[in-house]
Amino acid sequence: MKMSQIYIPTLKEKPTEAETPSHELLLRAGMIRRVAAGIYSFLPLGYRVVRRVEQIIREELEKAGAQEVHLPLLHPAELWKESGRWDEMGDLMVKLKDRRDREYCIGPTHEEVMTDLIRYELKSYKDLPQNFYQIQTKVRDEIRPRFGLLRAKEFSMKDAYSFHANWESLDATYQDMHKAYCSIFQRCGLDYRVVEADTGPMGGTDSHEFMVLAETGEDSVLFCDSCGYAANVEKAQSKVSKQEEKIAPPEKEEIYTPGVTTIEGLEKTMDLPGEYLFKSLLYRGEKDYYLAIVRGSDQLNENKLMALLGDPHLHLAEEGYKNLPAGFLGPQGDHGLKVVADELVMEMEWGVAGANRVDYHVQGIIPGEDFSPDMIGDIRSARHGEGCPRCEGTLEEIRGIEVGHIFKLGTKYSESMNAHYLDENGKAFPMIMGCYGIGVTRTVAAAIEQNHDENGIKWPLPIAPYQVILLTLGKDEKVNEESEKIYEELKKAGVEIIWDDRPERPGVKFNEADLLGIPLRITVGRKYLETGQLEIRDRYNNEDYLLEKSQLLTWVQDYLGEEESI
RNA sequence: CGGAGCGUGGCGCAGUCUGGAAGCGCGCCUGCUUUGGGAGCAGGAGGUCGAAGGUUCAAAUCCUUUCGCUCCGACCA
């Protein structure tokens, strides 16, 4: 492709909307343009990258035995009401009505439509397992779209759904998909980690996330260097030391603590470390109120709390409960609330809690004596520096971008939607399901978050919009002729090459080549006529090479081949 | 949803307080010069000042309403 014939509107200045490197560079390199909040158009160069990622995904999934389908964007409300998610999903779904007042939503995901597709005809155990995938645009009314393609309202996603007659079969497909995902992200040239994850609102049992490592990532991952344990902070466990410095328990008595409603304030007022304070948080679930207790030094983990209580509708109760005063809550006494305590709380010898009346706390509260929780479990967040739950190592925290997520769904959807199969004895059972997602457009952005410098993008070769960019400097007719020869030779050899044949000044061409991030840059100018040597720069390492023209094709092919075989 | 801020040419911004001819830089078009890391000179095109209503002789500027966008927060009760 000649650069004079392709539309690449680059920007010299950083657009104000851009908060993060991938967002800025995608805009500046003329790859995407914003249409509305969280909604983007892809320009020719940007779309080429999307297609490269899609292609790698297709190849690896076909290898894993998945079949490509294409499901609709517009879903009838009935399907979602059947699964119960019409209300459960809440405002995340964009809902609309047609002229006859029929209700629809724009698919934020496709479990319902997929299950519906197979439930009437896929009836026998002999037809299982099956694994279907599609690459589709999803629409989710995110609370706050941001960071360009990283959290968009409309985005491209590869989703896959598998159906099984037994758990062993699901396990096997799950493993195949796990492997396929590893191949996909490796082939995309990305540094990623697989981590244990929380299943969240999707439901199900096992779940793993694929995280591209990048400082700007929205997710935190804890991992252990010695045994390889890795988990999302939403789920991670850890080994923690108990109350270290022993403080003798004081007499139980109420203390006047005017206006002290925070743990930080209480630490100062009482001159005690957080391990001696009870942090009490009031939660409202679907039916009940809960008082969740963790140590003052710990963070409550809402995901763990939801999992423990089996209630996905939990949220912090902002309206309060009866006449219990905000900021002075405690687990003890006759308040009528269900108390859920963290395991570590029960190991505290004593502590200070709110007195359940304004401006007072109580010291000398002993777990198990002064209060007995209705439920005990791990409801705190693990942290950097704590012990690995599997070995003697230490957990480290890193930032990542979630680009893939696989779940063992089980029978959540097949039960609610009556997707049954008949076994050898003619008996009906709900199919066992798995589901597997990859954020295609997010992967593109994540690749940039991980691979860029102050001058622009550094595309990993396999997903770069072009492999080689040829710069022609000056107006010399001979330089132009030589450039054309090189361009034709490489093109003919199957190299994806873009030729900057524009009448721009050298500075513009060099800077834009850096910005666009094409992996190899070949420069042809007056110097070439003088020395007969071509200059090649590897954009990734910013290393330069000098070559005779006769060596060029072999050198380039070697370079491209080596990278591809990694 | 709570808080803060911003809407002025394709992009980045000034002008708004104190009403009185819509400006600057980048980009774009034409010409000449220049040509190895975002050129120089000269000329030029392009704007319902987010929208609606109001005040006024006069509104980008003041008032009211509304729409859009961005950032922070939404676990320390």
Most confident residue range from A218-227, A308-317, A379-388, A490-499: A490-499
Length A449 CA → B13 C1' (Å):
28
Give CA–CA dist A14/A455, Å, rounded.
Answer: 12
Closest CA to A421 of A407, A439, A435, A433: A433
* Nucleotides in chain B near protein beta carbons (<7 Å): 1, 11-13, 25-27, 34-39, 68-77
**Amino acid A262: pLDDT:** 80
A499 touches strand B (CB under 7 A): no
Helix (H, G, I), strand (E, B) or coil at A434: strand
Q: Stretch A377-394: mean pLDDT, rounded?
A: 88
Q: Are residues A481 and A535 in the same domain?
A: yes
Query: Which nucleotide's C1' is closest to A265 (Cα)?
Result: B76
Domain-located, residue A242:
no
Query: Straight-line distance from CA A143 to C1' B1, in Å?
Result: 10
Residues A189 and A335 in one domain: no
Q: Where residue A566 falls among pLDDT bands split at 50, 70, 90?
A: very low
Lowest mean pLDDT among A313-327, A376-390, A527-541: A313-327
- Whole-angstrom distance, CA of residue A306 vs CA of residue A118: 32
Confidence of residue A220 (pLDDT cuts 50, 70, 90): confident
Mean pLDDT of chain A: 90
Could you tell me if A480 and A438 lie in one domain? no
Rounded distance in angstroms from the CA atom of residue A534 to the C1' atom of nucleotide B31: 35
A439 sits within 7 Å of strand B by its CB:
no
Q: What is the pTM of this model?
A: 0.91
Specify whether A291 is located in the same domain as A408. Answer: no
Q: Is residue A223 in some structural domain?
A: yes
Please report which helix (H) or strand (E) contains residue A278, including its range: strand A278-284
Q: Give the neighbor-by-neighbor strand order of the sheet with A351-354.
A: A253-256, A360-365, A351-354
- Return the residue matching tokens 């409202």: A284
pLDDT of residue A466: 97
For residue A454, say whether its CB is under 7 Å from any atom of strand B: no
Burial of residue A4 (CB within 10 Å: 0-12, 13-18, 19+) is exposed
Which of A248-252, A389-393, A477-481 is most confident?
A: A477-481
Is the Cβ atom of A386 within 7 Å of strand B at any atom?
no
Pick from A347, A233, A331: which is nearest to A290 by CA?
A331
What pLDDT band is residue A500 in, cutting at 50, 70 and 90? Answer: very high
| Pick from A300, A293, A304, A291: nearest CA to A200 | A304
Whether residues A369 and A404 share a domain: the answer is no
C-alpha to C-alpha distance for A153 and A39, rounded to whole angstroms: 6
**Residue A236's CB: how many other CB atoms inside 10 A?**
28
Alpha-carbon distance of A158 to A156, in angstroms, equals 7
Question: Which H or E run contains A222?
Answer: strand A219-224
Write the pLDDT tens digit of every residue in A107-129: 999 999 999 999 999 999 999 99
CATH number at residue A504: 3.40.50.800
State the pLDDT at residue A382.
Answer: 87
Domain identity same for A408 and A432: yes
Query: Are residue A50 and residue A139 in the same domain, yes or no?
Result: yes
- Count of structural domains within chain A: 3
Mapping DSSP onto H, E and C, the string for A468-527 reads EEEEECCCCHHHHHHHHHHHHHHHHCCCCEEEECCCCCHHHHHHHHHHHCCCEEEEECHH
Average pLDDT, integer, range A514-524? 97
**Of A332, A350, A377, which one is at a domain's C-terminal end?**
A377
d(CA A61, CA A184): 9
Report, as an integer, the average pLDDT of A150-160: 94
Q: Which of residues 252-271 of A touch strand B (CB under 7 A)?
A: 261-264
Which residues, 6 or more positions from A425, have their beta carbon under 8 angstroms from its beta carbon?
A: none
Q: Residue range A368-379: average pLDDT?
A: 90
User: What is the C-alpha to C-alpha distance for residues A468 and A168, in angstroms, rounded to an integer?
Assistant: 47
Alpha carbon distance A118, A417 (integer Å) = 11
Least confident of A51-60, A236-245, A417-426, A443-452: A236-245
Burial class (CB in 10 A: 0-12, 13-18, 19+), A59: middle
Report which of residues A247 and A189 the model is more confident about: A189
- In window 294-333 of A, residues with CB < 7 A from nucleic chain B are 296, 299-302, 315-321, 324, 326-327, 329
> pLDDT category, A89, cuts 50, 70, 90?
confident
Highest mean pLDDT among A15-24, A62-71, A269-278, A315-324: A62-71
CATH of the domain at A368: 3.90.960.10
Nearest to A135, CA basis, from A74, A76, A192, A50: A50
- Judge whether residue A383 contacts strand B, using its CB and a 7 Å cut-off: no
Rounded mean pLDDT of A275-298? 84
Q: Does residue A481 reach within 7 angstroms of strand B, measured from its CB?
A: no
Does the residue A248 lie in any domain?
Answer: no
Mean pLDDT in residue range A525-534: 94
Judge whether residue A66 has pLDDT over 90.
Answer: yes
Which amino acid, A497?
Answer: I
E runs forming strands in A175-218 = 192-196, 207-213
Q: SS3 of A22, please?
A: helix
Range list of H helices, A271-386: 302-309, 343-346
Nucleotide nearest to A16 (CA to C1'): B12
Tell me which of A238-242, A516-520, A524-528 is least confident: A238-242
* Least-confidence region, from A41-50, A159-168, A295-304: A295-304
What local confidence, expressed as pLDDT, does residue A319 receive? 56
Nucleotide nearest to A503 (CA to C1'): B35
A216: Cβ under 7 Å from strand B?
A: no
Is A28 inside any structural domain? no
My answer on whether A315 and A400 are in the same domain is: no
Stretch (H or E) spanning A547: strand A543-548
Q: Where are the alpha helices (DSSP H) in A64-166?
A: 77-83, 85-88, 111-119
Answer yes or no: is A381 CB < 7 A from strand B: yes
Residue A348 domain-assigned (yes or no): yes
Residues A181-200, mean pLDDT to the nearest whole number: 90
Q: Are strands A497-500 and A468-472 parallel, antiparallel or unpaired?
A: parallel
Residue A411 has pLDDT above 80, yes or no: yes
Question: pLDDT-based confidence at A481, cuts 50/70/90?
Answer: very high
Residues A257 and A210 in one domain: no
**Residue at A271: amino acid letter:** D
Which nucleotide shows the minimum CA-to-C1' distance to residue A38?
Answer: B69
Of A residues 118-157, those with CB within 7 angstroms of nucleic strand B are: 143-147
Side chain identity at residue A310, one-letter code: G
Q: In this structure, are residues A327 and A261 in contact, taking their beta carbons and an 8 Å threshold?
A: yes
- Is residue A498's pLDDT more than 60? yes
CA A469/CA A498 separation, integer angstroms: 5
Could you tell me where the DSSP H helices lie in A256-316?
263-270, 302-309
For residues A341 and A309, membership in a common domain is answered with yes
Alpha helical stretches, state H, A340-391: 343-346
Contact A396, A225 (CB under 8 A): yes
Residue among A459, A502, A509 nearest A50 (CA): A459
- Amino acid A204: pLDDT: 63
A552 lies in a domain?
yes
Res. A313: pLDDT tops 80: no
Of A449, A475, A510, the residue at which a domain comes to its end is A449
The Cα–Cα gap between A247 and A251 comes to 12
ipTM: 0.93
Q: Which domain holds residue A53?
A: 46-237+396-449
CA–CA dist A277, A295 (Å, integer):
6
Q: Give the per-residue pLDDT at A447.
A: 96
In angstroms, how far is the first alpha carbon of chain A from the final one? 27
Distance A359 CA to B2 C1' (A): 26
Q: What is the pLDDT of residue A318?
A: 59
Nucleotide B72, nearest residue via CA and C1': A144
Calpha distance A435→A194 (Å, rounded):
16
3-state secondary structure of A426: coil
What's the CATH number where A156 sits?
3.30.930.10
Query: Based on the domain organization, do A445 and A506 belong to the same domain?
Result: no
Tell which residue, A478, A491, A510, A498, has the closest CA to residue A552: A491
Residue A474's nearest CA partner among A518, A534, A524 is: A524
pLDDT of A202: 55
Mention every residue, 6+ apart, whose C-beta is less than 8 A from residue A329.
A280, A281, A282, A291, A353, A354, A356
